[in-house]
């Protein structure tokens, strides 16, 4: 009786009245019958403001928030359809407690939205509430749009302008399907996500964002593989291009240290075969094969910092470097590269990078020479790291969050929805708390 009374009180403020409640025999479903009480004299045509008359009576069933555990609750609302006596157009009476563009009540929408604000996946919310997946997705879009708009309003109120940005790409589908992401490194907010990774794709960022918001950008971090630098220079002429140190070091590890290490290993393998053919003892051939295995398996000790190696591994590294001159030189160049990225004086950094590239080209090691010739063209972006020590690391870390979202959702067919989800998850008030900090 208390439930029916509360419903009657709620509807008394609207042109509807409670009729009765129909309960299924197993008690797992309740249907509330409601009837419109709106007088025809109070209705005007929305097209010409003329008088109307009722031309039909209809009903609509809406999913409601359950009151009892394990019991589904629906609302069946009777409503009128009117015809204008002047323009002869027809229209339906609005159901005030129906949530727009859905077949659920407003309080059911609030109930579902509360789950979504806790970052519970749509599939899980659908299973909990029993509401159709598309309806839950529609509500999630509204929750995200509201949060993103509120975040923009908050930043605008404080007069905030980003000073450091990062640009990177991430995979959205199998088969080399990519998207480009722009992040504000100071606040961690994703400013823009767009399909594709070409120069033309990235140009949409500058077309869609308020350029006044970017008026104070000092530096933009990116990798060297894309032509993003050309567009940044064109649209943000005062901003410095900063090439990401971790991309640079990773490419050096793969294209130089990795190549030279495998070349040295292959020399030992070829020498072992030659010794075997020429009749050397099994012990000598075995020793040569052991050198092959040691060099080939030295990838991680060559990449690791000296301080992080144990005494045993440090000794193994020194032995390999002493016996392989080319590998030793490339390892020294790797260490020098790390030192240059730690510099904070731009003049010293430029002098150091020039010397690094000259030494690399004079080494005579093909892989190192190729790398130096390719990267020397971007020396200004490497020097800029001394004045603006930023990287795409924060954005790379957020890309892992994107991968988790894709895995939870088993992929996303609606790319606009997925891109909004990425922006939504980057908002500080929405991010998941680390279990280590709770």
pLDDT-based confidence at 279, cuts 50/70/90? confident
Residue 338 scores a pLDDT above 50: yes
The residues spanned by each domain of the chain are 2-98, 164-244+391-430, 245-387
Q: Which percentage of the chain shows pLDDT scores above 70? A: 93
Average pLDDT over residues 262-281: 90
Residue 175: per-residue pLDDT: 64
Residue 16: per-residue pLDDT: 86
Contacts of residue 159, defined as CB under 8 A and 6 or more positions apart, other chains included, come to none
- Separation between Cα atoms, residue 64 and residue 21, nearest integer Å: 13
Residue 435: per-residue pLDDT: 44
- Separation between Cα atoms, residue 417 and residue 431, nearest integer Å: 18
Which of 9-18, 143-152, 339-348 has the lowest average pLDDT?
Answer: 9-18
In 3D space, the residue among 161, 159, 181, 158 whose CA is nearest the CA of residue 170 turns out to be 181
Average pLDDT over residues 344-367: 96
Average pLDDT over residues 17-44: 89
pTM of the model: 0.81
In 3D space, the residue among 235, 188, 186 whose CA is nearest the CA of residue 212 turns out to be 235
pLDDT in tens, 221-269: 998 877 899 999 999 999 999 999 999 999 999 999 999 999 999 999 9
pLDDT-based confidence at 387, cuts 50/70/90? very high
Which tokens sit at 27? 């008690």
Residue 227: per-residue pLDDT: 81
DSSP readout, 329-386? HHHHHHHHHHHHHH---HHHHHHHHHHHHHHHHHS--HHHHHHHHHHGGGHHHHHHHH
Residue 345: per-residue pLDDT: 96
Q: How far is CA 294 from CA 172, 307, 313, 323, 433, in A?
A: 39, 21, 11, 12, 43
Residue carrying structure tokens 């004086």: 345
Q: Is the separation of the CB atoms in 402 and 368 below 8 Å?
A: no
pLDDT in tens, 185-223: 999 999 999 998 889 999 999 999 999 999 999 999 998
Cα dihedral sign for 241, 206, 416, 197? negative
Report the chain's mean pLDDT, rounded to a whole number. Answer: 89
- Separation between Cα atoms, residue 399 and residue 339, nearest integer Å: 27
- Residue 193 carries which DSSP code? E
Average pLDDT over residues 409-433: 78
pLDDT-based confidence at 405, cuts 50/70/90? confident
pLDDT in tens, 42-70: 899 999 999 999 999 999 999 999 888 88
Which tokens sit at 361? 């080209």
In 3D space, the residue among 192, 193, 180, 188 whose CA is nearest the CA of residue 160 turns out to be 188
Which tokens sit at 135? 């309806």
- Separation between Cα atoms, residue 204 and residue 66, nearest integer Å: 45
Residue carrying structure tokens 């302008």: 161
Element housing 19 (H / E): strand 16-23
**Choices 3.30.450.20, 3.30.420.10, 1.10.3720.10, 3.40.50.620: CATH for 164-244+391-430:** 3.30.420.10
- Separation between Cα atoms, residue 111 and residue 119, nearest integer Å: 14
Average pLDDT over residues 14-40: 88
pLDDT-based confidence at 9, cuts 50/70/90? low
Which of 1-15, 285-299, 391-405 has the lowest average pLDDT?
Answer: 1-15
Residue 397 scores a pLDDT above 50: yes
Residue 13: per-residue pLDDT: 54
């Amino acid at each position: 009786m208390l439930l029916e009374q509360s419903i009657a009180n709620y509807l008394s403020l609207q042109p509807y009245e409670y009729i009765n409640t129909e309960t299924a025999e197993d008690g797992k479903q309740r249907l509330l019958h409601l009837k419109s009480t709106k007088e025809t004299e109070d209705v005007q045509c929305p097209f010409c403001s003329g008088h109307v008359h009722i031309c039909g009576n209809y009903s609509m069933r809406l999913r409601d928030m359950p009151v009892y555990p394990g019991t589904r609750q629906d609302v069946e609302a009777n409503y009128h359809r009117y015809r204008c006596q002047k323009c002869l157009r027809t229209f339906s009476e609005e159901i005030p407690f129906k949530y727009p563009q859905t077949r659920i009540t407003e309080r059911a929408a609030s109930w579902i939205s509360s789950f979504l604000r806790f970052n519970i996946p749509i599939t899980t919310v659908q299973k909990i509430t029993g509401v159709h997946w598309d309806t839950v997705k529609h509500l999630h879009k509204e929750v995200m749009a509201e949060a993103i708009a509120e975040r923009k309003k908050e930043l605008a109120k404080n007069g905030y302008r980003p000073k450091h940005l990062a640009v990177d790409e991430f995979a959205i589908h199998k088969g080399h399907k990519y998207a480009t992401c722009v992040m504000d490194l100071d606040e961690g907010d994703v400013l823009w996500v767009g399909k594709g990774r070409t120069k033309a794709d990235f140009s949409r960022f500058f077309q869609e964002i308020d350029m006044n918001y970017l008026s104070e950008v000092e530096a933009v971090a990116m990798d060297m593989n894309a032509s993003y630098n050309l567009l940044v220079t064109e649209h943000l002429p005062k901003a410095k291009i900063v090439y990401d140190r971790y991309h640079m070091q990773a490419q050096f590890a793969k294209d130089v240290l990795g190549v030279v290490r495998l070349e040295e290993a292959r020399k030992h393998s070829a020498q072992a075969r030659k010794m075997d053919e020429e009749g050397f003892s099994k012990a000598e051939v075995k020793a040569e094969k052991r050198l092959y295995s040691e060099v080939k398996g030295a990838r991680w000790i060559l990449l690791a910092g000296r301080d992080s190696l144990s005494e045993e591994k440090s000794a193994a590294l020194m032995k390999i470097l002493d016996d392989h001159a080319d590998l030793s030189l490339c390892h020294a160049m790797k260490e020098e590269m790390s030192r240059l990225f730690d510099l904070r004086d731009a003049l010293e950094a430029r002098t150091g990078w020039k010397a690094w590239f000259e030494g690399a080209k004079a080494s005579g090691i093909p892989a190192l020479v190729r790398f130096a010739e390719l990267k020397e063209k971007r020396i200004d972006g490497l020097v800029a790291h001394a004045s603006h020590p930023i990287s795409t690391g924060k954005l790379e870390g957020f890309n892992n969050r994107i991968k988790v979202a894709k895995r939870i959702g088993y992929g996303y067919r609606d790319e606009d929805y997925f891109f909004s989800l990425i922006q939504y998850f980057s908002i500080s008030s929405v991010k998941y708390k680390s279990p280590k900090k709770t």
